[in-house]
């Protein structure tokens, strides 16, 4: 087989065979296909798309390109959750211990953030001492004991995806639904869970800017999962405004603690109940979604979910005193309230731009190597659909710099106040 012939075949709109796709992924991972040929191929996929059969072959070839995690020694049905990214998306920090507290084992591998989308690992690392690296053995033991552990993704998980993603990033081929679907699902399949719940975010703060694309991506990923013999379902959720109130690493840990104590923002808690109910049913700890939700609500009100979180922090060497005294994590030098310039109703909080404001404060990375400032970020006091009086604080900026004009300007540009607005729909659709 020659790569140039395969590029030509895709360029001319024909479907590749499974063997041809496996050849491309194996040879590219082994550095035997140069980036310039792979770039041309990716652009051909971008324009000519792929059939379902091609996408499944691509996903499995990528999943098989490196280490595959064997979770079979964890008791019970392992359910993984993945979000396609958002702003202030604190879900995993709440959901993992919540679902674990009703008996569903959660062996979660998370990633770091890049750009305005935060990563769960960065958030957890704002807890002093918290260890995100565990040996496979310790990871599995931890999940068997406490039902939950959240660690960093192993370096050799789907290496083909790592290489391809870096190339897509610089060749304008990230925004391709078959390439996104195969990228996400290859890592989920290699990570070894029996069932997968996907949170496909849509809106300004997400990869999928509209519902039509979110639907296509969801259907495609669910189909890939089923063909790879993993029970898979997708929830299409709103990311037109940030989720919850906190955006920034330690601020989101505090938000997670409050939510696990039943005092968190309503949208974040609802998101956790919706995703969590699906996970509990897939994990066969409840027969219906209603029954599952009931279990989760009880785990919050009884304190069981919060206790599971505390044990997770302790077992992964984190400073558990932050659970009783989360204010210890508020270490930014300056807290600045941003007052509303007019009275009215918040009509828009443009999620990606608000995410960029948090990134400029230091909460996110502008390049892969950049360091993160865990202490900085934003806390929203008003969300879309809420009334505000002129002079009332819209949000609080947590900063380690006295110069925040650029951030303030960006925030004012992206918080719209008008005569009226409805609260956005949080959950658009559920796809099974």
- In the complex, which residues of this chain contact Ca ion (CB under 5 A)? 88, 90, 244, 246
Work out what residue 192 binds among ligand URA, Ca ion, none; the CB cut-off runs from 5 to 8 Å by kind. none
For 268-336, the DSSP string reads: HHHHHHHHHHHHHHHTTS-SSHHHHHHHHHHHHHHSHHHHHHHHHHHHTT--THHHH-GGGG---SEEE
Asked whether position 196 contacts ligand URA by CB under 6 A, the answer is no
> Which residue, 424, 255, 410, 420, is CA-closest to 338?
410
Our CB check for Ca ion shows the closer of 225 and 242 to be: 242
Site for ligand URA in 2-41 (CB under 6 A): none
- Lay out the sheet containing 231-238: strands in order across: 79-83, 195-202, 231-238, 427-431
Q: Which of 187, 230, 374, 382 is catalytic?
A: 187
CB of 125 to ligand URA, least distance (A): 20
238 is catalytic: no
Q: Which of 82, 123, 163, 428 is catalytic?
A: 82
Structure tokens at 152: 């960093």
For the question of residue 82 being annotated catalytic, the response is yes
Binding mask 291-330 for ligand URA (x = CB under 6 A): ----------------------------------------
User: Are the beta carbons of 139 and 151 closer than 8 angstroms?
Assistant: yes
Choose the one of ligand URA, Ca ion, none that binds residue 430, judging by a C-beta under 5 to 8 angstroms depending on kind: none
Nearer to ligand URA, 168 or 379 (CB): 168
399 catalytically annotated = no
| CB-based burial label for 12 (10 Å; 0-12, 13-18, 19+) | exposed
* Active-site annotation holder among 161, 199, 238, 267: 161
Copy the structure tokens of residue 240. 């037109």
Q: Is 244 left (phi over 0), alpha (psi -120 to 50) or beta?
A: left
Of the pair 269, 323, the CB lying nearest Ca ion is at: 269
Taking the complex as a whole, the smallest distance from the CB of residue 167 to ligand URA amounts, in Å, to: 11
DSSP assignment letter at 401: -
CA distance 280 to 296: 9
Annotation marks residue 319 as catalytic: no
Q: Nearest approach, Cβ of 202 to ligand URA (angstroms)?
A: 13
User: Which residue has the closest beta carbon to ligand URA?
Assistant: 183
Q: Which of residues 72-91 bind ligand URA (CB under 6 A)?
A: 84
In terms of CB distance, is 184 or 220 closer to ligand URA? 184
Give the burial string for 239-263 (b: 16+ CB within 10 Å, else e): bbbbbbbbbbbbbbbbbbbbbbbee
Nearest-angstrom CA–CA distance, 291 and 305: 17
CB of 48 to Ca ion, least distance (A): 39
Query: Which two tokens mark 2?
Result: 């020659």
Residues within window 155-194 making contact with ligand URA, judged by CB under 6 A = 165, 174, 179-180, 183-184
Residue 84 or residue 249: which is nearer to ligand URA going by CB? 84
Selection from ligand URA, Ca ion, none that 88 binds (CB < 5 to 8 A by kind) is Ca ion
Provide the β-strand partners of residue 388: 344
Of 117, 99, 96, whose CA–CA distance to 108 is shortest?
96
What single string gives the DSSP state of each residue in 258-285? HHHTT-S-HHHHHHHHHHHHHHHHHTTS
Residue 183 a catalytic site member: yes
The catalytically annotated residue of 101, 110, 182, 183 is 183
50 binds ligand URA (CB under 6 A): no
Q: Is 417 helix (H, G, I), strand (E, B) or coil?
A: strand
CB–CB of 232/221 below 8 Å?
yes
Task: Select 207 or 309, whichever has its Cβ closest to ligand URA.
Answer: 207
DSSP string, 37-69: HHHHHHHHHHHH---HHHHHHHHHHHHTTSB--
> Minimum Å distance from CB 187 to ligand URA?
6
Residue 214 makes contact with ligand URA by CB under 6 A: no
246 binds, among Ca ion, ligand URA, none (CB under 5 to 8 A by kind): Ca ion
* 253 vs 431, beta carbon nearer Ca ion: 253
Which pair of tokens denotes residue 67?
A: 């280490």
Nearer to ligand URA, 173 or 240 (CB): 173
**Among 363, 242, 312, 322, which residue's Cα sits nearest to residue 94?**
312
Residue 384 touches which of Ca ion, ligand URA, none (Cβ within 5-8 Å per kind): none
Tell me how far, at minimum, the Cβ of 177 lies from ligand URA, in Å. 10
The catalytic residue among 162, 168, 365, 428 is 168
Q: 78, 285 in Cβ contact below 8 A?
A: no
- The residues that touch ligand URA, with contacts defined as CB under 6 A, are 84, 165, 174, 179-180, 183-184, 207
Which residues participate in catalysis according to the annotation? 82, 161, 168, 183, 187
């Amino acid at each position: 087989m020659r790569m140039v012939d395969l590029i030509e075949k895709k360029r001319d709109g024909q479907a590749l065979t499974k063997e041809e796709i496996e050849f491309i992924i194996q040879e590219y991972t082994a550095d035997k296909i140069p980036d310039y040929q792979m770039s041309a191929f990716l652009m051909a996929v971008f324009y000519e798309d792929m059939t379902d059969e091609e996408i499944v072959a691509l996903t499995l070839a990528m999943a098989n390109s490196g280490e595959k995690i064997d979770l079979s020694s964890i008791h019970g049905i392992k359910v993984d959750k993945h979000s396609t990214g958002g702003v202030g998306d604190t879900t995993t920090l709440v959901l993992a211990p919540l679902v674990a507290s009703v008996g569903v084992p959660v062996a979660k591998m998370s990633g770091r953030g890049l750009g305005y989308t935060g990563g769960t690992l960065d958030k957890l690392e704002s807890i002093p001492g918290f260890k995100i690296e565990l040996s496979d053995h310790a990871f599995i033991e931890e999940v068997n004991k406490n039902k939950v552990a959240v660690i960093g993704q192993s370096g050799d998980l789907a290496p083909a995806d790592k290489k391809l993603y870096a190339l897509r990033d610089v060749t304008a081929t990230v925004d391709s639904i078959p390439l996104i679907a195969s990228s996400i699902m290859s890592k989920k399949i290699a990570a070894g869970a029996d069932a997968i719940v996907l949170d496909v975010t849509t809106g300004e703060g997400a990869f999928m800017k509209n519902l039509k694309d979110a639907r296509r991506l969801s259907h495609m990923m669910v189909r890939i999962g089923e063909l790879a013999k993993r029970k898979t379902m997708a929830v299409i959720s709103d990311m037109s405004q940030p989720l919850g109130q906190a955006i920034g690493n330690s601020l989101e840990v505090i938000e997670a603690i409050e939510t696990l104590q039943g005092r968190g923002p309503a949208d974040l808690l609802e998101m956790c109940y919706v995703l969590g109910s699906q996970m509990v049913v897939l994990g066969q700890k409840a027969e219906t979604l209603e029954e599952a939700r009931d279990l989760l609500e009880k785990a919050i009100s009884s304190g069981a979910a919060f206790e599971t979180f505390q044990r997770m922090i302790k077992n992964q060497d984190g400073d558990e005193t932050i659970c009783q005294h989360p204010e210890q994590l508020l270490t930014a030098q300056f807290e600045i309230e941003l007052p509303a310039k007019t009275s009215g109703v918040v009509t828009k909080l443009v999620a990606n731009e608000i995410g960029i404001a948090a990134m400029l404060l230091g909460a996110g990375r502008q390049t892969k190597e950049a360091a993160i400032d865990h202490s900085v970020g934003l806390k929203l006091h008003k969300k879309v659909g809420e009334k505000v009086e002129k002079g009332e604080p819209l949000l609080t900026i947590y900063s380690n710099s006295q110069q925040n004009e650029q951030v303030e300007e960006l925030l004012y540009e992206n918080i719209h106040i008008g005569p009226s607005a409805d609260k956005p729909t949080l959950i658009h659709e559920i796809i099974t």
